[in-house]
Amino acid sequence: MNPFKIAIIGCGTVGGGVAKIIKEINSTLSDRAGKLIVLDKIVELNATVAIERFGIDKKHFCGGGEDLSAEEAANYIKDILNDPEISIVVETVGGTSDFVHDLCVGICKSGKHLVSANKALLAERGKEIFKAAEENNVSIGFEAAVCGAIPIIKTIKESFSGDEITSVSGILNGTSNYILSRMLDEKLDFDVALKLAQEAGYAEADPTLDINGGDAAHKLIILMKLVFGIDVSMEELKFQGIQNISATDMAYAQEIDSKFKLICYAKADGSSVYGTVAPMMVKNENFLSDVNGATNAVRTINRYSGKHILIGAGAGSSETASSIVADIMFIARYNDRMNNALLNKKLEFKDLSQFTFPYVITFETEDKPGITGLVTTEIGKQDVNIFTVTHNRHVSESALFSIETQPCTLEQINAAIERIKTQNILKAEPKVFPILY
């Protein structure tokens, strides 16, 4: 068999998992690829820790398994990029720094294939990386960047290449889903559920990107590029997190046969693509309402083949590593026939404020007679039909209630809220949640 040599830059949680899989099932991988899969070089600053943690032979590490300085690591990376025998480089350093961006561009310009799980980098700074890959006739594997072990990238690029995807939605962040599941099942406040997620290892010490919707936004940007061929920036994509969801909000969702989920949603409509990341009340009839814990799920609706659902582990060392190894295998087998070109349709991105959705609006007002009628009247004046109004909850001197609307635009709802604010009856900013059927 011809050798297919691999270098890994960064041997932490994910990179170490990749090396471990390659060593443990090397003969199986080689048989599947039709080439001898060879783990050739690893560059890692804390090599001694990686060797002990993952049981990797120190012979694979640049520097003989000793810890490296940043300067030493940079020199070894140059050697890898100049080595004509190395076919593919796995980047598992992470982050969006100039160093990592330039590293990925450099890998492609050196004529080597690139595999990365770096969703933030590809979402925010991927344009130049893909351009370098195209100009140098190399492939980029990024399956692990979206939903870990779920093969959504290959499904879209390969299995659905004979169809047209009209919408993609799903639960793309396991940490937020775990928190919301604990809040619902155990009637917990957000802060308590977050602490439990951190203790269970699902949330980082700094969980900001998970709970504010940023991580999910990175993944949706990649999917929109892949599905619709549009480049959307983090500034353009409106995203919200789950940090402001309360136990009371959870109770309102249950009243309308729904559960809260952090949803990524993008849909093509004519010449426009609408997209958002937001906590939504997902109706119990929608399968996403039953996706609990740290599980991820993606739903596509296709023009010809209808609805498709993929569910699985969205994170974790071995899960993410398995997707990276799958990309390595795919490139080893088909690199001379692979095509990086993403769609380039003439579509305009718009945020969800102009798209019709049913919504739930929750209000905290003064506890006086007639206020519910006043609120519903102002909503009606914006040509918004009301589906139902929940009963009032009385807390201290406040009344809490929610209104479920028929499909309308967020612009209409915001206009109604501005009118209601002039009445000086609100004791808190209203919360607005889309409803997903």
Residues 226-259 have pLDDT tens digits of 999 999 999 999 999 999 999 999 999 999 999 9
Say if CB 302 and CB 163 are below 8 A apart.
Answer: yes
CB atoms within 10 A of CB 280: 27
Query: Which residues are CB-neighbours of 224 under 8 A, at least 6 positions away?
Result: 168, 230, 232, 266, 273, 275, 349
How far apart CA 315 and CA 320 sit, in angstroms, is 6
pLDDT at 340: 63
The contacts of residue 131 (CB under 8 Å, 6+ apart) are none
Domain ranges of the chain: 3-152+318-337, 158-313+346-350, 356-436
Identify residue 431 by its one-letter amino acid code.
K
Tokens coding 394: 């009385």
Other C-beta atoms closer than 10 Å to the C-beta of 334 total: 13
pLDDT number for residue 341: 60
Class of domain 158-313+346-350: alpha beta
Token pair 């048989």: residue = 31
Domain 356-436 belongs to what architecture?
Answer: 2-Layer Sandwich (3.30)
At 92, give phi and psi (nearest 5°): -130, 30
**Which residues are CB-contacts of 258 (< 8 A; sequence separation ≥ 6)?**
281, 282, 283, 284, 289, 435
Structure pTM? 0.94
SS3 235: coil
**Res 291: pLDDT:** 97
Share of the chain above pLDDT 70, in %: 98
CATH architecture classification, 3-152+318-337: 3-Layer(aba) Sandwich (3.40)
Of how many residues is the chain composed? 437
| Secondary structure of 379-400 as H, E, C letters | HHCCCCCEEEECCCEEECCEEE
219 is catalytic: yes
Beta-strand pair 113-116/140-141: parallel
pLDDT value of position 354: 84
Residue ranges of the chain whose pLDDT lies below 70: 336-344
User: Which pLDDT score is estimated for 410?
Assistant: 95
Q: Greatest CA separation found in the chain? A: 82
Which one of the listed residues 35, 119, 219, 431 is annotated catalytic?
219
